[in-house]
Amino acid sequence: MKNFRRALWGSIAAICVVIVWLVYEIGETNKEMMHIPMGPAFALTADDGSEITETAFREGPTAIFFGFTHCPEVCPTTLYELNGWLHEVDPDGDRIDAYWITVDPEQDTPEMMRRYLSNVTDRVIGIAGDPDKVRAMADGFGVYYEKVPLDPNDPKGDYTMNHTASVFLLNDGGVLQSTIAYQEDHDTAIEKLKRLIKTDND
């Protein structure tokens, strides 16, 4: 009986050691993740026709949003709100960069995105490109998007796009700091952007 108890307590002690080691390893992994830039390497096209790569997201605080020009509500609302937040937090436009990546690259050309954005904001740069490259880039950010036919009986007809609606906030270096949800409270969104700037200055 004593041997059984010793073996039992020995097993418990071993399990505790393993648990402590796992907690430590998870903590170390999380610390490393906090310094890894978000998203993959990519080469796409900005709305002025120039090439843009992941470097643009790692040169300072950045706000990134995914959407499409024919979006009926979510995209125009978010762009309008984001434009207002940026003007409030960064009136001179030199502390936060903002980008809008299309999730409908088959239809949204860089020129089309430039025309669309010029009617909504002067603070957000559009990004488009080869559909496969856009898909790889969006996948690297963990962004969901899917083409949905407006008429299920006509899958090749008019469609809309379901997609992730959050704004990603990347700090200096491209590390994800936080997100702004669709229809986020104004004061909460402003505070997140202020923290983004403050982190860059610390």
Residues contributing to the annotated binding site for Cu cation = 71, 75, 163
Q: What residues form the annotated binding site?
A: 71, 75, 163
Alpha-carbon distance 119 to 163, whole Å? 22
Whether residue 168 contacts residue 141, with contact meaning beta carbons closer than 8 Å, is answered with: yes
CA distance 26 to 107: 43
Q: Is 138 exposed, middle or buried (0-12, 13-18, 19+ CB in 10 A)?
A: buried
Contact between residue 39 and residue 141 where contact means Cβ atoms under 8 Å apart: yes
Residues composing the chain: 202
